[in-house]
Amino acid sequence: MISCDKVQSICTKAQYREASLYEKGLHFIHTLYCKACIEFSRKNNQLSGLLDRTAASTLSEEEKKAMKQRLGQAR
């Protein structure tokens, strides 16, 4: 028997294509009988889909350094 916490971790790994076939099998079997994990998987997939559709990006290392410098000068 696998815990719900472990299944949720596998679900997240699977979305980033980091889960092994064995882990995916454990996830599948667990979600056959656990409604809470089915709901978690559904919401996690929905959230990932929403994030994929945004134009969100992260700052480069140079941009982070420049921002830190500007914030330090503002004090």
17 sits in the region (left: phi over 0; alpha: psi -120 to 50; else beta) called left
Q: What is the pTM of this model?
A: 0.65
Q: Where are the domains of the chain?
A: 4-74
Dump the DSSP string for 19-70.
--HHHHHHHHHHHTT-HHHHHHHHHHHHHHHHHHHS------HHHHHHHHHH
pLDDT values of the chain reduced to their tens digit, one per residue, 75 residues: 889 999 999 999 998 889 999 999 999 999 999 999 999 999 999 998 888 888 777 889 999 999 999 898 866
